[in-house]
Amino acid sequence: MKLAYLISLAMVLLAGSFAAGQAGTNYTALLAQAENEIKEMSDAGFGVAFVSDALLDARKAFNATVYSIVTEKAGLISDRKLQAYNISDSITALALGIEDVRSYGLNTSDVEEVLGKSRTAFQQERYEEAEKLIKQGYAELTSVRAEATIVQIRIKAARENLISFVKDNQNTIIAGVFIAALTSFVVFARITEMRTKNRIKNLAIEKTVLKGLMKKAQYDHFQKRTLTREGYGIKMEKYRERVLEIKRLIPVLRSRLKKRLPPKHKAKAGQ
């Protein structure tokens, strides 16, 4: 009876030892994954001071067999990596948006200042501040676009008032107003044409840059193997979405340009 009891006790102890060893193996793999994610962030040019401290805490917890903290810190590192990629892509998108608005001759100096601050905050690993600044930048960029729309509405209203004035006083001023209106229309059409051409050119350049970024991501993932599958998927999805958007925009802009151009210039606009 006593022998059976000792055998049972030994089996329980062995089972517990096996389970502990298995758990240790699992959390060792978790630490290795965290190390790889930190390396990926470093290779991408992101700051790694915060995640390095988290990894240090995870290792201390592992040595103390406090595995719940190991899981918590490893998850924090993964979330931080995704946050870094999202902020980096958002900064790039904001910069492209500023370039697009600036191509219309609008003042974007305030937005550019916010963009610079967001980049500094991101480089110094102040991610929450960087995200707030990016949102502020988008809000100010939207405001600039809205102000430009208001100006265009005022121009349209002024043109309509001018036409009404001409009709009421056509016997005395119709000739002068007609010449002025014609000149204004030609100048406005020319400015619109130049802006549309510039936007098409900028979109084409952006498309080329995005394709280059896609090739770089493929090279980093498949050949250099410095970019994980997850990071590769995130980047490629964002790049493809923007490329598709550009492919939809360019034909629309070219169509508008053709409608504004004389027949002899339409063939060149379509090229």
Over residues 74-97, the pLDDT tens digits come to 999 999 999 999 999 999 999 999
Phi and psi at residue 39, to the nearest 5°: -65, -40
At residue 50, the pLDDT reads 95
Backbone CA torsion sign across 137, 143, 146, 150: negative
Structure tokens at 114: 């916010």
Of 58 and 156, the one with more pLDDT: 58
> Is-contact 248 184, C-beta < 8 A?
no
More confident residue, 190 or 251: 251
| Gap between the Cα atoms of 6 and 256, Å rounded | 90
Say if residues 28 and 214 touch (Cβ distance below 8 Å). no
Number of Cβ within 10 Å of residue 151's Cβ equals 11
**For residue 196, what pLDDT is reported?**
84
**Least-confidence region, from 87-91, 249-253, 255-259:** 255-259
104 CB-contact burial (10 Å; exposed 0-12 / middle 13-18 / buried 19+): middle
What is the pLDDT, as a whole number, of residue 8? 47
What does pLDDT average to over the chain? 81
Close Cβ partners of 124 (under 8 Å, ≥ 6 residues apart) = 47
Pick 40 or 171 by higher pLDDT. 40
pLDDT in tens, 193-247: 888 888 888 888 888 888 889 898 899 889 988 888 898 899 889 999 999 999 9
Rounded average pLDDT over 103-130? 94
Alpha carbons 48 and 39: distance in angstroms, whole number: 9
Q: How confident is the model at residue 183 (pLDDT cuts 50, 70, 90)?
A: low
Per-residue pLDDT tens digits for 10-59: 443 333 443 444 456 789 999 999 999 999 999 999 999 999 999 999 99
Pull the structure tokens for residue 4. 């059976």
What pLDDT sits at residue 177? 60
User: Which residues are CB-contacts of 238 (< 8 A; sequence separation ≥ 6)?
Assistant: 89
Give the integer Cα–Cα distance in Å for 212 and 204: 12
**Mean pLDDT over residues 100-129, rounded?**
94
Measure the CA–CA gap between 239 and 220, rounded to whole angstroms: 15
Our separate counts of H helices and E strands in the chain read: 8, 0
Can you give the pLDDT at residue 41?
95
Q: Determine the average pLDDT of the residues in 119-140.
A: 95
